Every structure is written in C-alpha cells, then in structure tokens.
Structure 1
Amino acid sequence: MTAPALLTAEHDCSAFVCKHASLAEWLQQRALANQHSGSSKSYVVCNDTGQVIGYYALAPGALLPSAAPGAIKRNQPSPIPVIVLGRLAVHQDWMGAGIGLGLLKDALLRSLQASAIIGGRALLCHAIDTEAKNWYLKWGFVQSPTEAFTVMVKLDSASEPLI
C-alpha cells in the first residue's frame, strides 16, 4: 500500500467502490476537475497494483460562529476560517484495515501544516450518515450545535494525539 499522495491522472480510480456510491462517483468524475480548478485537493492511497483504495479531499471553508462549539468560536472572526474535509472514503474490500484512520491522520496533519501557514481554526466535516458522524466523534471531533451531521476538531496541539 502506498502513502497518501496527491491525486493525478495516472491514479486508477475506475474500480473504486464504497458504501456510498456518491463518494465513489465523486472520486471518479469530479475529484481531478475540482483539483485543477483549485476548489479542492484530493489525496489517495493505492494497493500494490496501483488501484485507489482510499481517498480524502480538503478545501478551504468558513463557518458561522453560531454553528461552532464554544472552544472553536472563542476569539474568532466571523466567519471562522476552517479547512473542510470534503470527502473521505475507503474501498469496500479494504474496510476495517485501518485505512480510514490513516487517511484521517494524514488529513489532520496536512490541515495543521496549512493552518500554520494561512490560518484555520478547525478541520470540519459534513458526515454523510450517522455511522460516519459517530466515527469522527470517536476520534475527537465535536458536533456543531446547529447542524446534526457537521463535526469538527480544533486545529492546535489538542489535535496532535490523533496524529
């Protein structure tokens, strides 16, 4: 298995299948175009034959203070600058192998590095379903007080135990 790398046209995404078809379709049809337009950056891990078995996407974003927990909104401008974890998915054949957690750690590390350069208070994710939301909560994310499936983790030294 490869380390997470920036998605390129050479990566084979054609056989990627996961629980939510929309996540596979986005990888196969939109990820590279979004990357070229500057909307997001996608990072992939591949198996030994070069097929993508997991990915995530990061993008800049903003959050209204009313949608942020106290520790995240305290002393912040409106809107609050965040980094959005727009997608994270693992091929169905590789579920349970720790790839999702590895991708989350990599996304958090890259977000910490980006926030040190340009700012960013939190890594924010709009979880696709309850199972995904609970998975993020297990890893230290907190739920938005106003959005049931929006979770976030503050980007500072408190995030480092996950890394």
Structure 2
Amino acid sequence: MMAPQPLAVGHQVENFQSGEPSLDDWLRHRAMKNQANGSSRTYVVVENDEVIGYYCLAAGAIGHAESPGKLKRNRPDPIPVIVLGRLAIHKNYHQRGLGTALLRDAILRTLQAAEVAGIAALLVHAISEQARRFYLSRGFIESPIQPMTLCLPLHTVMLTLGQL
C-alpha cells in the first residue's frame, strides 16, 4: 500500500464498497467534482490503482454554541476549522489500521494548513455511533449540543499523534 495521495482521474473508484452507501456514492459521484470546484480535497490510498480508503478535507467553521469549552476559549465566533468531511475504508480492508492511518494523515495535513491560515481544530460529523466511538477513542471531543459533531483541538494534536 502506498501513502495517501490526492485523488486523480486514473484512480479506480467504481468498485469501492465501504459498507456505507452514502460514502461510496460520494466518492464515485462527488469527490472529483468537489475537488475541481475547490470545495474539498480528497486523499486516497490505492492498491493497483483501486481506491481502498479515502478521506476528504474542507475549510469550515463551528459556532461557539456547538463548540466544546476548551475550543471556544479566546476564539472568534465562528471558530475556523478544517472539516474531515468523509473517511471510509473498503470493506475488505476493515480492521487493519487503515482508518487510523488515514486519520493520522488528515491530522498532519491539518497541521500543515494551520501554519499558513488560522485553524483551531479538526472537525468531523460522525456518520454513525460506531464512527463516533472511533473518533472519541482518538482524542476528539464531542459538541455539547451535537453529540455526533466532534472536534480535535489542534493544541492537543501532539498527544493524539503519539497515540495513533
């Protein structure tokens, strides 16, 4: 397996099956369009040009009301974040650490972006309770009013990276 790379035209996405149809459909039908219009960037892990895992990043913001207390302290409203829009692994590669590896890559790219723009956290809207538990176990903090909205404050990232 190769390191995550930007999604490109030659990557095969048609056979991607994560077990979550909305994530599969987004990869097939929206990822390249969103990349072309600047809405998000998608990074993929491939094996023989077949995508076996992916995630996407986009710029975003979260209001103080939705933010964990640690995140909103001394920050503007809304708070600038990078949104981890999607993260999915082909079902044949589940439980092999690929999700954690992709999350680590997303965190590192978020840190790079934070060097040139104001970013306070990596934010994710968990698609399921299982996904929520995945992110919570990796240092994310839930929103006080939206339990499926989770943030990883960048000031805590070094601790999280050490655990991944």
Judge same fold: TM > 0.5, yes or no: yes
**Shorter-chain TM-score range:** over 0.9
Shift in Å, 1:63? 0.5
Aligned to 1:117: 116
The structural deviation recorded for 1:162 is 3.1
- Count the aligned residue pairs: 161
Percentage of pairs with the same residue: 46
Q: Which structure 2 segments of 5+ residues have no match? A: none
* Residues 92-131 of structure 1 mapped to structure 2, 5 A cutoff: 92-131=91-130
Structure 2 length-normalised TM: 0.96
- Measured after TM superposition, the shift of residue 24 of structure 1 is 0.5
Deviation, structure 1 residue 50? 1.6
- Aligned-partner SS, 2:115: helix
User: How far is 1:161 from its partner?
Assistant: 3.2
Identify the residue that residue 57 of structure 1 maps to in structure 2.
56
SS at match of 2:13: coil
* Distance (whole Å) between structure 1 residues aligned to residue 87 and residue 23 of structure 2: 8
1:36 alignment counterpart: 36
Instruction: Find the aligned partners of 1:23 and 1:107 in 2 and give their Cα distance.
Output: 17
Gaps of 5+ in 1: none
* Structure 2 Cα separation of the partners of residues 121 and 136 of structure 1: 17
Distance (Å, rounded) in 2 between the aligned partners of 1:44 and 1:50:
10
4+ long deviations beyond 6 Å: none
Tell me, in whole angstroms, the C-alpha distance in 2 between the residues paired with 1:21 and 1:90.
12
Per-residue deviation at 1:102? 0.3
Alignment partners' CA distance in 1, 2:71 and 2:129: 22
Deviation per CA, 1:23-43: give whole Å up to 9, x if none: 010001000000000000000
Distance 1:56 1:160 in 2: 21
SS at match of 2:103: helix
Q: Which residue of 2 aligns with 1:162?
A: 160
Please list the CA deviations of residues 30-82 of structure 1 after superposition, one character each: whole Å capped at 9, or x if unmatched.
000000000000000011x2200000000000100011111100000011001
CA RMSD of aligned residues (A): 0.7
Which amino acid is the alignment partner of residue 158 of structure 2? E
State the partner residue of 1:3.
3
Q: Which residue number corresponds to residue 83 of structure 1? A: 82
Query: 2:2–2:45: 8 Å Cα contact kept in structure 1?
Result: yes
Q: Which moved more, 1:11-20 or 1:51-60?
A: 11-20
Paired residue secondary structure (1:118): coil
2:24 matched to which residue of 1? Answer: 24
